[in-house]
Amino acid sequence: MSSKQLKGSAKDKTLSPQEKQAKIDDVRKRIGPVAEELPALCSDASISRFLRARNWNTKKATKMLKKTFKWRLQYKPDNIKWEDIAEEAGTGKIYRANYCDKLGRPVLVMRPGFQNTKSTSGQIKYLVYCMENAIMNLKQDQEQMVWLVDFQGLAKATVSLKLSRETARILQDHYPERLGLGILYNPPKLFHSSWMILKPFLDPVTYQKVKFVYSDDPKSRKIIEEIFDLDKLDAAFGGRNMSGFDYQAYARQMKDDDVRMSTFLHSGCSFPSPHLSSILAEPRGSNASDEGGLSSGDEATPSTSITESNILNK
């Protein structure tokens, strides 16, 4: 573990509940009137995640949260529907599993070897859709999920470094502390080189949560048994569930979830106030990740309305 990781872990452990609450209140004060208009994003739980991602530095957490406000206003992730990404989902390259881990956390399966499109913007949109859906399905006492990355078929697929970097930016800039555990299942040896290239773009705390698992390694088998109920886990990952990915069944589930998502959206604001609009008027930063991971050829949809999903309050 690096000194930076140790510093972050120690900071979280040494702060008392009262000190943590004081920092949460300080961030909410720094945000200003917007906090009242986006209560879910500015809830104690949400602010705490941004603070943990920035080692409880209130100034950095506030900056990070404001950038997420701007991204959500522009990108409108909770307005993405199944029809918008159905083609991307065709091969099951990303999907929410129909089982959880032993801690009750939802499992998001990612299979880069099953890539079926060439559009970076479409691939990112599908990733965001899956993240929003997984968050909506978190249990009331959960705020993190498991990412199970399967490398089957990767040798036949071309992995875009650009897409990998965009993915890393989106996840760590706008979904902080949502990763409870990341499992890399049967990664090829060459992946270690790619992993080292990606390391600078990953938050140290996030990097620490990743585990390499190999199906032919007894020690890895124990890791899988500790994390999952093997009767529910897909056989492709060492479990005894033979059902696999069913596109038609998954499509029906996602359409049902879209209806559920709409009920959350009705509880938000119907159009932007001057406070929210002022966020969009802020000048662009010099850091590419400030723009929420949009690729150079992508455009954010201009926001004509603002809605907020209560799922972020979990």
- Give CA angle at 65 (60, 69), nearest 5°: 150
Which two structure tokens, joined as six digits, stand for 70? 């701007």
How much is the pLDDT for 281? 59
Which pLDDT score is estimated for 177?
Answer: 93
What is the per-residue pLDDT for 188? Answer: 83
**Given this model, what pLDDT does residue 108 score?**
97
Q: Following DSSP, what letter does each residue of 78-142 receive, concatenated?
A: GG--HHHHTTTTTT-SEEEEEEE-TT--EEEEE-GGG-----HHHHHHHHHHHHHHHHHT--TT-
Say yes or no to pLDDT of 198 above 60: yes
Q: What mean pLDDT, rounded, does the chain reach? A: 82
Domains recognised in the chain with CATH numbers: 3-75+266-293+302-313 (no CATH), 80-260 (3.40.525.10)
Q: Is the pLDDT of residue 10 over 60?
A: no
Least-confidence region, from 14-23, 98-107, 174-183, 191-200:
191-200
Which residue in 312, 313, 267, 314 sits closest to 72, CA to CA? 312
The angle at the Cα of 21, spanning 15 to 26, to the nearest 5 degrees, equals 110
Type of residue found at 38: L
What is the 8-class DSSP label of residue 216?
T
* pLDDT per position as a tens digit, 256-310: 999 998 876 655 443 445 555 565 555 544 443 433 333 333 333 333 333 333 3
214 burial class (0-12, 13-18, 19+ CB within 10 angstroms)?
A: middle
14 compared with 306, residue with greater pLDDT: 14
Among the residue ranges 130-139, 228-237, 255-264, 275-284, the one predicted with the least confidence is: 275-284
Burial class (CB in 10 A: 0-12, 13-18, 19+), 213: buried
Encoded tokens for 138: 């978190």
pLDDT, tens only, 48-87: 999 999 999 999 999 999 999 999 999 999 899 999 999 9
Whole-structure pTM value: 0.80
% the chain with pLDDT above 70? 77
Encoding tokens for residue 82? 């199944």
